[in-house]
Amino acid sequence: MAAQLTPYIESKDARAQAEFYMHALGGEVRFLMTHGQVPGVPEAMKDKVMHMAIGIAGENALFLSDEFVPTEGKGGRGSLTLSLTFPSEAAAREAYANLGEGGRDVYPFELQPWGGHYGEVEDKFGIYWKITKQ
Protein backbone atom coordinates (compact mmCIF):
# COMPACT_ATOMS: atom_id res chain seq x y z
CA MET A 1 0.00 0.00 0.00
CA ALA A 2 1.52 3.33 -1.07
CA ALA A 3 0.42 6.67 0.35
CA GLN A 4 1.72 10.20 0.74
CA LEU A 5 1.88 11.67 4.23
CA THR A 6 1.40 15.43 4.59
CA PRO A 7 1.54 16.99 8.08
CA TYR A 8 -1.50 19.15 8.89
CA ILE A 9 -1.19 21.70 11.70
CA GLU A 10 -4.14 23.37 13.42
CA SER A 11 -2.76 26.70 14.52
CA LYS A 12 -3.71 29.69 16.65
CA ASP A 13 -2.43 31.83 13.74
CA ALA A 14 -1.92 29.79 10.57
CA ARG A 15 -0.71 32.74 8.50
CA ALA A 16 2.01 33.71 11.01
CA GLN A 17 3.10 30.11 11.46
CA ALA A 18 3.29 29.54 7.69
CA GLU A 19 5.31 32.74 7.24
CA PHE A 20 7.74 31.61 9.93
CA TYR A 21 8.30 28.23 8.25
CA MET A 22 8.66 29.75 4.78
CA HIS A 23 11.22 32.23 6.12
CA ALA A 24 13.09 29.56 8.10
CA LEU A 25 13.16 26.90 5.38
CA GLY A 26 12.35 28.67 2.13
CA GLY A 27 9.02 28.13 0.47
CA GLU A 28 5.79 29.54 -0.83
CA VAL A 29 2.03 29.47 -0.34
CA ARG A 30 0.55 27.02 -2.82
CA PHE A 31 -3.10 27.38 -1.80
CA LEU A 32 -5.10 29.50 0.66
CA MET A 33 -8.82 29.38 1.39
CA THR A 34 -10.52 31.37 4.14
CA HIS A 35 -13.83 30.67 5.83
CA GLY A 36 -15.09 33.88 4.21
CA GLN A 37 -15.12 32.07 0.86
CA VAL A 38 -17.96 29.88 2.13
CA PRO A 39 -21.51 31.32 2.27
CA GLY A 40 -23.11 31.85 5.68
CA VAL A 41 -19.96 31.99 7.79
CA PRO A 42 -20.13 34.25 10.86
CA GLU A 43 -18.33 37.57 10.43
CA ALA A 44 -15.78 36.71 13.14
CA MET A 45 -14.62 33.67 11.14
CA LYS A 46 -14.37 35.22 7.66
CA ASP A 47 -10.64 36.01 7.76
CA LYS A 48 -9.68 32.73 9.44
CA VAL A 49 -7.75 30.18 7.38
CA MET A 50 -9.85 27.18 6.43
CA HIS A 51 -7.03 25.50 4.51
CA MET A 52 -3.53 26.56 3.51
CA ALA A 53 -0.95 24.50 1.68
CA ILE A 54 2.66 25.65 1.66
CA GLY A 55 5.74 24.24 0.02
CA ILE A 56 8.83 24.26 2.25
CA ALA A 57 12.44 23.08 2.12
CA GLY A 58 12.30 22.04 -1.52
CA GLU A 59 9.39 19.87 -2.55
CA ASN A 60 7.93 19.20 0.91
CA ALA A 61 4.33 20.16 1.67
CA LEU A 62 2.76 21.30 4.92
CA PHE A 63 -0.92 22.04 5.47
CA LEU A 64 -2.24 24.48 8.07
CA SER A 65 -5.56 25.89 9.24
CA ASP A 66 -6.68 28.17 12.02
CA GLU A 67 -8.07 26.15 14.92
CA PHE A 68 -11.81 26.08 15.60
CA VAL A 69 -11.35 25.36 19.28
CA PRO A 70 -8.14 25.77 21.27
CA THR A 71 -5.86 22.78 20.61
CA GLU A 72 -5.13 22.58 24.35
CA GLY A 73 -8.81 21.73 24.87
CA LYS A 74 -8.76 18.67 22.63
CA GLY A 75 -7.83 16.30 25.46
CA GLY A 76 -5.23 13.61 24.87
CA ARG A 77 -3.75 15.29 21.84
CA GLY A 78 -0.10 14.35 21.44
CA SER A 79 2.76 16.53 20.35
CA LEU A 80 3.88 16.75 16.73
CA THR A 81 7.45 16.16 15.57
CA LEU A 82 8.58 16.82 12.01
CA SER A 83 11.79 15.43 10.56
CA LEU A 84 13.86 17.07 7.81
CA THR A 85 16.92 15.50 6.20
CA PHE A 86 19.30 17.76 4.26
CA PRO A 87 21.96 16.99 1.67
CA SER A 88 24.49 19.39 3.23
CA GLU A 89 25.59 20.23 6.75
CA ALA A 90 25.35 23.96 6.01
CA ALA A 91 21.70 23.72 4.95
CA ALA A 92 20.86 21.59 8.00
CA ARG A 93 22.58 24.02 10.37
CA GLU A 94 20.76 26.96 8.80
CA ALA A 95 17.37 25.24 9.16
CA TYR A 96 18.16 24.30 12.78
CA ALA A 97 19.10 27.90 13.62
CA ASN A 98 16.14 29.42 11.75
CA LEU A 99 13.56 27.10 13.30
CA GLY A 100 15.02 27.76 16.76
CA GLU A 101 14.43 31.52 16.56
CA GLY A 102 12.01 32.26 19.39
CA GLY A 103 11.92 28.59 20.38
CA ARG A 104 14.39 26.39 22.22
CA ASP A 105 17.17 23.92 21.56
CA VAL A 106 16.15 20.42 22.58
CA TYR A 107 19.24 18.51 21.41
CA PRO A 108 22.25 20.34 19.94
CA PHE A 109 22.99 19.90 16.25
CA GLU A 110 26.22 17.89 16.29
CA LEU A 111 28.14 15.12 14.57
CA GLN A 112 26.70 11.78 15.76
CA PRO A 113 28.36 8.38 16.28
CA TRP A 114 26.74 7.05 13.08
CA GLY A 115 28.58 9.69 11.05
CA GLY A 116 25.72 12.08 10.29
CA HIS A 117 24.80 15.38 11.91
CA TYR A 118 21.61 15.56 13.97
CA GLY A 119 19.77 17.94 16.29
CA GLU A 120 16.33 18.69 17.68
CA VAL A 121 14.69 22.06 18.14
CA GLU A 122 11.26 23.21 19.33
CA ASP A 123 9.97 26.17 17.33
CA LYS A 124 8.10 29.11 18.84
CA PHE A 125 4.80 27.41 18.01
CA GLY A 126 5.62 24.28 20.04
CA ILE A 127 6.41 22.03 17.06
CA TYR A 128 9.45 19.75 17.44
CA TRP A 129 11.84 19.42 14.48
CA LYS A 130 14.42 16.67 13.99
CA ILE A 131 17.12 18.02 11.67
CA THR A 132 19.49 15.55 10.01
CA LYS A 133 22.34 15.70 7.53
CA GLN A 134 23.18 12.17 6.38
CATH of region 80-134, choose from 3.20.20.70, 3.60.21.10, 3.40.50.460, 3.10.180.10: 3.10.180.10
Q: Per-residue pLDDT tens for 51-96?
A: 999 999 999 999 999 987 655 544 444 568 898 999 999 999 999 9
Q: Per-residue pLDDT tens for 20-31?
A: 999 999 999 999
- For residues 60 and 77, what is the distance between their CA atoms, to the nearest angstrom? 24
- For residues 24 and 8, what is the distance between their CA atoms, to the nearest angstrom? 18
For every residue of 30-86, DSSP letters joined together read EEEEEGGGSTT--GGGTTSEEEEEEEETTTEEEEEEE-SS-GGGGSSPPP-EEEEEE
Topology given in CATH for the domain delimited by 1-68: 3.30.720
